Amino acid sequence: MRMMTRLKRVAGWMSLAMLNSLGAAAPAENTGPLVAGNTAFAFDLYRALGQEPANLFFSPYNISAAMIVAASGAAGETEDQMQKALRLPGPAASQMAAWGAIERQIDGISRKDVMSLDTASSLWVDPSVHLLAGFLDPLKQDLGSAIQQADFQTAPDAARQSINKWVAEQTRDKIQNLLAPGTITPDTRMVIASAIYFFGRWAEPFSASATEEGAFTGASGATFKAMYMNQKEDHLYFENGDLQAVELSYLGGRLGMMVILPRKTDGLNNVERGLNAETLSGWVGNMARREVLLRIPKFKLETQYSLASALGGMGMTDAFSSKADFSRINGKRDLFISAVVHKAFIDVTEEGTEAAAATAVMVASKAMPMPKEEPVVFTADHPFAFLIRDRNTGSVLFLGRLVQP
């Protein structure tokens, strides 16, 4: 009998859905290697998804949060491949406490009337399923996942609607109908879901009266209309011969959005080839506060990806095949990941940023300071990359690029 599970995590939003017969906090100083690995994974996945010249937006934090749960149930070669592809510093099962510590730090960022950054996770299980304690206990103890029964065998669509409702509630209705009709069947045995929602106000908001229409030039030379926000304020800034980077702070100072602007209109591909955890760390370390004459478009993106091919191409092959070994979930080798779907949303305005994301993973059975001189001119009127990061932990929560407003 085919079994499946959905794992769902969101950084912005993620729903890691695992279907089928899936039927004590680590100290902060122990989270560094895991955060570094997640950042490396973020840029690996950015390159895998960015083959086509289109807008891109996803939550590497959410995807990692979902996939680490799936990986914690893997064994043998499946476990080794997932550990390497996800850039985990050790076996996933040994990283759950550290991930829980990161999540508690992230959840602690929210401040009333300043910022909302909320994560949540839940485990939906068919009554017929017996999960091994070694898999289940860390979900409850380290991640604080809520455990709920769902009658997948006799009422699969009702279960699907319940999960979708939970997702919508956790994401302020930004992720709707994560699980499409037919994605949960009588063969479904478990859904692991998690979510993240973010809304942050700029520390230095833009004046709506200064917003004006202008042209945005794509890499091919084609032009598009865009509504540009304008301001002259102090921001963290870095530049080199290939690019300019500015980081806009959100109220509270904990989170920031970095905009990475190539100097050449068609230079994003070249900049992307050098994007990795090390270069990001170097840019951050060399940022200095400068007065910036900033011009950046308002934009809203809604994206959806099927990640199985990308993750398989990153070396996680067995997990999606008959060779899969997820025996640490239920004691049997009858499960494999049949699909991974990710949805994400971001809206950047004069006031701030709202973002959400969701991922569904289906597991089936085998049947340097610069001088303060003149203001720096930063005009984002051609393709650029951007990310939202937690400055304390270093976690990249969202990552994307804008090639057409």
Buried b (16+ CB within 10 A) or exposed e, 351-367: ebbbbbbbbbbbbbbbe
The predicted pLDDT at position 128 comes to 82
Least confident of 9-18, 119-128, 313-322, 357-366: 9-18
Helix H, strand E, coil C: the string for 148-170 is: EECCCCCCHHHHHHHHHHHHHHH
The predicted pLDDT at position 312 comes to 97
The predicted pLDDT at position 75 comes to 96
The predicted pLDDT at position 189 comes to 78
What value does the mean pLDDT take over residues 297-304?
A: 95
The predicted pLDDT at position 367 comes to 61
- The answer to whether 193 touches 15, Cβ cutoff 8 Å, is yes
The predicted pLDDT at position 2 comes to 34
Query: Dihedral sign, CA of 256, 270, 241, 380?
Result: negative
The predicted pLDDT at position 368 comes to 44
What value does the mean pLDDT take over residues 300-304?
A: 94
State both tokens at 155: 């009422």
> Residue 364 — very low, low, confident or very high, per pLDDT cuts 50/70/90?
low
Single-letter code of the amino acid located at 68: I
* Pairwise CA distance, residues 123 & 126, whole Å: 10
Whose tokens are 């895991």? That residue is: 34
Using the predicted structure, report yes or no on whether residue 10 has a pLDDT greater than 60.
no
The two most distant CA atoms of the chain are separated, in Å, by 70
Closest CA to 190 of 144, 148, 155: 148
What value does the mean pLDDT take over residues 381-389?
A: 97
| 102-155 residue pLDDT tens | 999 888 888 767 789 988 788 788 888 788 999 999 989 999 888 888 898 899
Phi, psi of 4 (to 5 degrees): -145, 165
The predicted pLDDT at position 43 comes to 97
Using the predicted structure, report yes or no on whether residue 8 has a pLDDT greater than 50.
no
The predicted pLDDT at position 341 comes to 76
Q: Read out DSSP for 199-228? A: EEEBSSPPPGGG-EEEEEE-TTS-EEEEEE
Q: What is the pTM of this model?
A: 0.89
Phi, psi of 20 (to 5 degrees): 120, -170
Q: CB burial class (10 A; 0-12, 13-18, 19+) of residue 107?
A: middle
What value does the mean pLDDT take over residues 239-259?
A: 96
| Inter-CA distances, 316 with 106, 310, 328, Å | 27, 9, 17
Single-letter code of the amino acid located at 280: L
Beta-ladder partners of 234: 291
* Pairwise CA distance, residues 349 & 338, whole Å: 37
**Coil/strand/helix, residue 191:** strand
The predicted pLDDT at position 71 comes to 94
Closest CA to 247 of 294, 197, 196, 302: 294
Using the predicted structure, report yes or no on whether residue 5 has a pLDDT greater than 60.
no
DSSP state of 28: G
Closest CA to 401 of 277, 240, 267: 267
Single-letter code of the amino acid located at 299: F
The predicted pLDDT at position 374 comes to 78
| 168-210 residue pLDDT tens | 898 999 988 888 888 888 877 777 777 879 999 999 999 999 9
The predicted pLDDT at position 352 comes to 96
Mean pLDDT of the chain: 87
Domains in the chain: ranges and CATH: 4-201+301-365 (3.30.497.10), 208-297+369-402 (2.30.39.10)
The predicted pLDDT at position 358 comes to 80
The predicted pLDDT at position 401 comes to 97
Pairing of β 115-125 and β 188-201: antiparallel
* Pairwise CA distance, residues 150 & 160, whole Å: 9
> Residue 362 — very low, low, confident or very high, per pLDDT cuts 50/70/90?
low
Highest mean pLDDT range out of 193-207, 267-281, 329-343? 267-281
Q: C-alpha 12: how far from its chain's center? A: 6
The predicted pLDDT at position 365 comes to 63
Using the predicted structure, report yes or no on whether residue 12 has a pLDDT greater than 50.
no
Using the predicted structure, report yes or no on whether residue 404 has a pLDDT greater than 50.
yes
| 91-112 residue pLDDT tens | 999 999 999 999 998 888 887 6
> Residue 3 — very low, low, confident or very high, per pLDDT cuts 50/70/90?
very low
DSSP state of 242: S
Single-letter code of the amino acid located at 330: N
The predicted pLDDT at position 363 comes to 63
